[in-house]
Structures are given as C-alpha cells and as structure tokens.
Amino acid sequence: QSALTQPASVSGSPGQSITISCTGASSDVGGFNYGSWYQQHPGKAPTLMIFDVNNRPSGVPDRFSGSKSGNTAFLTISGLQAEDEADYYCSSYSSTSTLVFGAGTKVTVL
Amino acid sequence: QVTLRESGPALVKPTQTLTLTCTFSGFSLSTSGMCVSWIRQPPGKALEWLAFIDWDDDKYYSTSLKTRLTISKDTSRNQVVLTMTKMDPVDTATYYCARVLRRRGSGYYWAFDIWGQGTMVTVSS
C-alpha cells in the first residue's frame, strides 16, 4: 500500500487561496468517497479538517473545503491566515479494507 | 469530554515486542459504531496507519505490517492494546491512538476525530 502523492510544499500570502492535491488510484481515492484531510502543527497531534471528501467537522472554519476529481482529492484553504501554516495530510480508505495516508504537504504563509 | 492517552515503553531493543496501551474516556467501545485506531509517525516523516478495531471486535491491519501487529480491546477498562513484534530501528516513531468518527445512527467514517498526544518509541540497542 503506497502513500498517496502530495506536493512537498505549498505557499501563499495572507488572504490568498491555496489548493493541495492528493493523488492516489482507483483502488483508494478514486474508488471511494472516504477521503479525509488532517492539519498538524509542529509537535502536536493531527486535527481532522475534512472527512468524506468535502465534510467539515464542527469547529473547522469554512475557509477549509475539500473536493475530488478522479483519483485526486483536493484541499482548498481560502483567505489564508498565519495560523494555517502547518503540515497537511490526506488519507483514503482502500479496497483492501485498509487506510493510506499521503506523504504530507508543508504549507507556508508568506 | 473525549480523551485518549497512549502509554508504553519509551525505549525497546531490536527484535523485542512492543506493547502500547490506549486508555480513553468519554465514550465506550461497546457502543455501536465506536472504533479506535493506531497511527504512527517517524521523526520528520509522514503519518502511517497501523490498525483499527471496532465495537464488534472486527480488526483491520496495515497490509505491510499485518504479520507483526495485534490489536485488542478491553471494553471494561476502556483500553485498546497494540502489540508489534520484531521491533527494528526503523520502527522508531511517535505512536498515536485515535477515535474513529462515528456516523449518526450506525457505522463510522474512515476518519479520526480525536487523537491522543502520542508516545515516542525509540528502538535501539
């Protein structure tokens, strides 16, 4: 089970929008709407930001949104803020009844 | 308030078996749809999913690690235990347990809504 492919880094200025991609295969991202996104600040445990492709848990700002096209999932952060600087990981359920994470993307707020 | 806390040895020797305990509060693993999972993260690297146990005692394991992992639950003590055999220095990581997000009604999402703080395990002789 290979890790999902994410860009190593993405950056943007405050107020801008950025999008992080997460590419898998038809056996995971493309085959199921069970993808999630996590935010992780240094030294902290991850926090769930999006589940089932485009659903936000309560308490997550609506600046964060998720989508999917084919075998690729996307996380968009609109109105980028300084506190959004963190690592972001995607995950997806897989056809082998397992879960796979992405390699992670470091978001820098310029 | 839902909390999870991992506990176990900070240092294990190569070839030894690691036993980690996740002690949780604020929910019961006997409730339909409740599940707990283990995830690890080597220093400076990505998250890696390890195992998952649900209220009905169904268990799921990482394909690459399934021969080395065993997950179990003690519902009366609100604990989930993970054992990993044949530890190697590459297994050095922070190990997290996390609650699986439960669906309204029944079932669950493959997502983790509450995480423990993690416990660092170093494998070295």
**Residues A89-106: pLDDT tens digits?**
999 999 989 999 999 999
- Report chain A's C-alpha Rg in angstroms: 13
Give B94→chain A minimum CA distance, Å.
Answer: 10
What pLDDT is recorded for position B106? 78
Of the partner residues A48, A97, A101, the one whose CB lies closest to the CB of residue B46? A101
Mean pLDDT of chain B: 96
Q: How many CB pairs under 8 A join A and B?
A: 66
What pLDDT is recorded for position B105? 77
Nearest to A37 by CA among A87, A98, A95: A87
Yes or no: say if B51 and B71 are a contact pair by the CB < 8 Å rule. Answer: yes
Half-sphere exposure (Cβ direction) of B71: Cα atoms closer than 13 Å? 23
Residue B72: strand pairing partners: B81
What is the arithmetic mean of pLDDT over B101-117? 91
Provide the percentage of residues in chain A whose pLDDT is more than 90: 95
Contact A96 B63 (CB under 8 A): yes
**Residues B5-53: pLDDT tens digits?**
999 999 999 999 999 999 999 999 999 999 999 999 999 999 999 999 9
Give A53→chain B minimum CA distance, Å.
Answer: 11
B103 secondary structure, DSSP code: P
Nearest CA in chain B to A96: B63
Q: How far apart are CA A41 and CA A106, in angstroms?
A: 10
Yes or no: say if B51 and B39 are a contact pair by the CB < 8 Å rule. Answer: no
Q: Please report which confidence band the pLDDT of residue A1 belongs to, taking 50, 70 and 90 as the band edges.
A: low
What is the arithmetic mean of pLDDT over B84-99? 98
What is the arithmetic mean of pLDDT over A104-109? 98
Residue of B1, B40, B47 to mutate, interface with A, max A Cβ within 10 Å: B47
Of the partner residues B64, B111, B116, the one whose CB lies closest to the CB of residue A1? B64
Provide the percentage of residues in chain B whose pLDDT is more than 90: 94
What pLDDT is recorded for position A84? 98
Q: Please report which confidence band the pLDDT of residue B77 belongs to, taking 50, 70 and 90 as the band edges.
A: very high
What is the arithmetic mean of pLDDT over B51-63? 96
Give A102→chain B minimum CA distance, Å.
Answer: 7
